Homo-oligomer: A and B are copies of this chain.
Amino acid sequence: MSARRLLILAEGYSGDPHYGKTMRGVLRYRREDVVAILDSQRAGEMEDGIPIVADVDSSLCFGPTRALVGVATQGGRFPPAWRELLKACIRHGLGIENGLHEFVADDPELAELARRFAVELLDLRRPPAGLDVPSGANLELPARIVLTVGSDCAIGKMTVSLELDREARARGIASCFVPTGQTGIAIAGWGIAVDSVVSDFIAGAAERLVVEGHERGGELLLVEGQGAVSHPAYSGVTLGLLHGSAPHVLVLCHRAGATEVDGYPGHPLVPLPELVELHERISLTRRRAVVACVALNTRGLSDVAARTAIADTEEETGLPAGDPVRFGAGPLLDAVLARL
């Protein structure tokens, strides 16, 4: 990945914390790979020290080698205007890394253009061949498995897993982040997007991921969670991942103050104490998982308000809580290790 110099495509979305989550994840954990961000509505600004450009032409002076689709649209399809943008990237010799459900390599026009300009089209969500149901290998691994779960989507489950992994490695633990979605894959360079496999094979894909995480040297596996068991659209992925990855311990993620499913008005969130119990009760009967702590996303709150929200959550759930991004992942890792 040494020649990976990324232009992040975030046209119209670079300021959106929800749909721009691939961009934000890569900016935070693979910043060294990013040379520019494309969003014509914010051209000339900087994002986290990275220049924002109006079009592909204006990005070329930064020497990008690949364009990364940095948005996660609902349903995973391309906004129509993006086709021209992708064609411009290919014509300028940039490979494409795409995390949407719509595969660029399967588009005849884009594939033909990519052949002509000799660039690679990489679909991060393309499932590997030969998936199947779990074999039971997930329950036989000599590893300790930690999965992030949550009250909603896009509240930071991947970030929490990455922060716990970083903290564990800093302590000398043979830890491995296990990517289960397009952003995690763009960051770590391996993984399976479990939301894109044939639905009968979600658990089988999750099993394959923990097996691979262990083969990569992980004795502590920090599995990136997806969706929420109570989410009206994505719960199937969540539960298949929960059963297939066979975690010993869960970390429950929540956005401080949220009470309704984001984007689904009228769908209340399940209260945290009930969510703790629900996850433990719905975990594998052969390997009961315990929720070790609550990771609270306090973005937008003052430090004082964040401390209060964390204390309130500890009182509400009876579990240790913390915001690993704001205050460090140490306390949450302590709580996880105490339950392993």
Name A residues whose Cβ lies closer than 8 Å to a Cβ of B: 74-77, 101, 132-134, 136, 194-204, 229-244, 261, 264, 266-270, 274, 278, 281-282, 284-286
Contact = CB atoms under 8 A, between A and B. Distances in A.
Contact of A76 (B76, B200, B239): B200
A278 B264 CA distance: 23
A1 to B, nearest CB: 27
Contacts of A198: 101, 195-199
Contact of A284 (B232, B239, B281): B232
A235 B231 contact: no
A232 B135 CA distance: 10
B203 A236 contact: yes
Nearest to A77: B132
Given A196-B198, A199-B197, A200-B76, A235 B243 contact: yes
Given A197-B199, A198-B195, A134 B233 contact: yes
Contact of A278 (B202, B231, B282): B282
B284 A133 contact: no
Contacts of A134: 232-233
Contacts of A76: 200
Given A75-B132, A236-B236, A270-B285, A231 B202 contact: no
A239 B235 contact: yes
A133 B75 contact: yes
Nearest to A268: B285
A133 B237 CA distance: 12
30 contacts: A75-B133, A75-B201, A77-B132, A101-B198, A101-B200, A133-B233, A194-B199, A195-B199, A195-B200, A196-B198, A198-B198, A199-B199, A200-B234, A202-B237, A203-B235, A230-B285, A231-B243, A232-B243, A233-B243, A233-B244, A235-B240, A235-B243, A236-B236, A236-B237, A238-B239, A264-B286, A267-B285, A267-B286, A270-B285, A278-B281
Contact of A199 (B132, B232, B236, B281): B236
A200 B237 contact: yes
B286 A268 contact: yes
A261 B284 CA distance: 11
Contacts of A241: 236
Contacts of A284: 232, 267
A244, A268, A281: residue with the most chain B Cβ atoms closer than 10 Å: A281
A236 B232 contact: no
Contacts of A230: 282, 285
Contacts of A269: 285
Contacts of A278: 278, 281-282
Contacts of A196: 198-200
